[in-house]
Structure 1
Amino acid sequence: MQYNYNISRITLNDDSHQLIGEILFPTINNDIVLLEHVFINPTFEQQGFGSLLVAEFVKHAIHQKLTVKLLDPFAKLEFAKHPEYQQLLINE
C-alpha cells in the first residue's frame, strides 16, 4: 500500500496502483482545514481502510500543525473513538 499526498488530499493505493480510498481536506483559513470527505472504493469497504486513512490524515495534520474542522460523518466517528485526535479540532 502507498499513501500519496497533495495539498488537500491523501490517497491510498494498493500495490497495483488501484485506488483504495482518499480523504479530502480543503483549507478554510491559513492552517485550518475542513475534513470534508473520506471515500473508500467499494471493492475495499469493510476492511479498515477508512480508519487507516483517518489515522494517516491525523499524522499529517500534526506534522503540518493543522487545525481541523470535521464535516465527514465517518471522520467524526473516528475522532470520537480516539481521544488523542481531539487536540487537532477547532474550538467552536
Structure 2
Amino acid sequence: MLINVVSGLTGKFLIERARKRLGATRSRLLAEGLSPADVEERTHWDSLTYRAVKQWRVIHVPITLAFAVLALAHIIAIFLFWSWK
C-alpha cells in the first residue's frame, strides 16, 4: 500500500511537470513563429512521454480502488468482531 501511495504522488508530480513542460514548449515554439505542424513535429517525443505517464493512471487507479475496498472491509471487520473472543 505504501508503494502505491508513493507511486501515486510520484505519478502526479510527473504528469503535472510533463504537462507544464509540453505547454511551455508549444507556447514558445508558436511565439517563435513556427507553424502548428512544425510545433507538433518538434514536440512529438514530449507528447509521447506525457501520454505514457498518463497511461500509468490506467494501472494505478484500479490498484488504489482495490486497496480502498480492502481497507474499508478491514475497518468494518474490526467493528463487527471487536468483542469477539
Give the TM-score taking structure 1 as reference length. 0.30
Higher fraction of strand: 1
Higher fraction of helix: 2
Please identify the structure whose Cα radius of gyration is greater: 2
Give the TM-score taking structure 2 as reference length. 0.31
User: Greater relative contact order: 1 or 2 (C-alpha under 8 angstroms, separation 6 or more)?
Assistant: 2
